[in-house]
Structure 1
């Protein structure tokens, strides 16, 4: 990283992510300029000459969401709709940013093609498969509706699956689905309104009727679905868990145990952090090292990104593991520190300043924007 070059963050200025990164940069003596996502989502932008540009999440801003969807009005709070249009808008905005970087001779610190792949779960799955990263089996084709999903599950012989919107995040629209001979059950944070609209809720609920589950799937399917076979997760102290592992320039230094009494482990759904040391003690040093190595291999499929958050599931036998998700912006981990005492943002800046991030990107053949 050129320490004299302007450091620009593409983000939502009032967002806690941007605030945390700016605080870490200030502590490191690096001034930061913010390019608001609202500006980029609305049209062309200019960048300072030779700038280093970090791309952060466009989430948690209703106006940015509206602009990316190309819609006349914002969605109601929490409403799940228009994911495919949002994704098309995201890709177009990233293309505009890449063009601005070429004009200015700027360096994009995260590769826009990586971000696009990470926000397309089927594309992400293909990259992981190409890298021979362990992941749950998935249906080959995206079901067009509930009837097609039911038929595909019967053909595959699968009774339990996770149904995920292709362009979703933070468990929005995800269903842990069990289809039996006599019953259908879906555990999800989706709230099905009386008018048929879907909303992302902080309360996990269970739907027991096929009519309700079909209504949810039929609403989600037009924007694309990924259907993965259920991977039984390990449990500790009566709760199942998975790991969020932040890999920064090939180093898995920040680990969060996400512990739940149900199949959805996302912490914002009221779940709890577990103890990484307790998990490591049960796994033992060899299996713990193998699990973290799998996260680094997953990150290597997106080496144009200086950091990714890998969600790793440990099997119920404590011997297998599988990558559930890879997150472009999975670095919001307050209170979690690496072995050197750095939080996730300070660790990223350290990797930038020492050249490790540039070396990681070079392994993907990426560098300064042409």
Structure 2
């Protein structure tokens, strides 16, 4: 077993901060056990956020995973309320980064992801700035505090179409694809109105065309901060626009999925479908450019074992731009790696850690 001599006893045992029982933790566990190692020690995000004592075996290799998809954890991050509600990103981020600091302070562990980099990836303004400063292609962007400010800045820049994104959002929560020209407006989003004037995440993308309603949505979300990017016209195939989620491990692109949709949102949970990866790979020059851009995006976060890069192909099938870099974007079940080794994203990360430890022990 590669690296086995480095992981004897409790020293070097894998551990994970996550949601016990979630498929992310389960898949990571399977990858560790399949490598012939002891089951990873699991720390619950609930214990981290509730301020409970955190203990792992001395010398553990600690992976930080997503705190999402758990109602109790969400309440600890955003406060009580329906987990499906939109908003509360500023409170979520404050609690989340405080939790990351607690994790980083656990004695005697080696973190497999830099918590400061995770914090940057969960702040769209900071992440965009880091990528832009490194020369990674990203859409031009600005920040706004209200719908009136949004429309004024769009007019000043002569932009008719933009993506409005909550600064600390994820999974397209609260994202609005906005087209505004003259007295006409169209806002496409998964945010739906619920009782008491609350916005909720819906699995159905909808369109608002009333200025008053769009203003109401934007202004409600603006309290947590909004990041606005110029619309990047995406390539399409079979009448569906597409982008890609590319997972990098140790800085190298290893897995990818094409996400297609008839709406501006390609997220699979919003009705997006997996597309034809080989169609994109057959464009050799384009594919090489995309992989280079994803590697350059990952290089902006050298302390992160894995990233999930959302990369867009332009309508010209030549231009490329990065939409997001995700700290927890490695959940791609059922997909083999694009390098042909047949490992899933978690097995690839375990392999990379063991290989790195073996090299350092020589």
TM-score (norm 2): 0.93
Superposed counterparts of 1:149-298, under 5 Å: 149-281=150-282, 284-298=283-297
- Match in the other structure for 2:310: 311
* Matching of residue 118 in structure 1 with residue 121 in structure 2: yes
C-alpha RMSD of the superposition: 1.5
**Structure 1: gaps spanning 5 or more residues:** 360-370
Query: C-alpha displacement at 1:48, in angstroms?
Result: 2.3
Partners of 1:214 and 1:97 in 2: how far apart? 39
Cα pair distance change 1:262/1:200, threshold 3 Å: same
- Match in the other structure for 2:325: 326
Q: Deviations over 1:146-193 (max 9, x none)?
A: 111111111111110000000000000000000111211011111123
- Match in the other structure for 1:28: 35
Partners of 1:356 and 1:195 in 2: how far apart? 54
Partners of 2:358 and 2:187 in 1: how far apart? 41
Partners of 2:268 and 2:280 in 1: how far apart? 17
Deviates more, 1:41-50 or 1:117-126: 41-50
Query: C-alpha displacement at 1:358, in angstroms?
Result: 8.9
Partners of 2:359 and 2:98 in 1: how far apart? 25
Deviates more, 1:60-69 or 1:315-324: 60-69
Q: Secondary structure at the match of 1:312?
A: strand
Query: C-alpha displacement at 1:45, in angstroms?
Result: 2.1
Q: Secondary structure at the match of 1:195?
A: helix
* Matching of residue 37 in structure 1 with residue 45 in structure 2: yes
Deviates more, 1:321-330 or 1:5-14: 5-14
Q: Secondary structure at the match of 1:313?
A: strand
Q: Which ranges of 4 or more aligned residues in structure 1 deviate by more than 3 Å?
A: 356-359
- Match in the other structure for 2:136: 133
* Matching of residue 67 in structure 1 with residue 73 in structure 2: no
Query: C-alpha displacement at 1:194, in angstroms?
Result: 5.0
Equivalenced residue count is 349
Partners of 1:274 and 1:216 in 2: how far apart? 31
Partners of 1:323 and 1:357 in 2: how far apart? 33
Query: C-alpha displacement at 1:341, in angstroms?
Result: 0.6
Partners of 2:358 and 2:323 in 1: how far apart? 24
Partners of 2:300 and 2:288 in 1: how far apart? 19
Partners of 1:224 and 1:45 in 2: how far apart? 32
Equivalent pair of 1:248/1:357 in contact (CA under 8 Å): no
Equivalent pair of 1:249/1:357 in contact (CA under 8 Å): no
- Match in the other structure for 2:60: 51
Equivalent pair of 2:74/2:83 in contact (CA under 8 Å): no
Partners of 1:143 and 1:285 in 2: how far apart? 39
* Matching of residue 92 in structure 1 with residue 98 in structure 2: yes
Q: Secondary structure at the match of 1:189?
A: strand
Equivalent pair of 1:54/1:108 in contact (CA under 8 Å): yes
* Matching of residue 13 in structure 1 with residue 20 in structure 2: yes
Partners of 2:217 and 2:113 in 1: how far apart? 34
- Match in the other structure for 2:87: 81
**Structure 2: gaps spanning 5 or more residues:** none
Partners of 2:203 and 2:83 in 1: how far apart? 12
Partners of 1:329 and 1:109 in 2: how far apart? 13
Equivalent pair of 2:41/2:56 in contact (CA under 8 Å): no
- Match in the other structure for 1:3: 7
Partners of 1:152 and 1:47 in 2: how far apart? 50
Cα pair distance change 1:357/1:42, threshold 3 Å: farther
Partners of 1:79 and 1:19 in 2: how far apart? 27
Query: C-alpha displacement at 1:6, in angstroms?
Result: 2.0
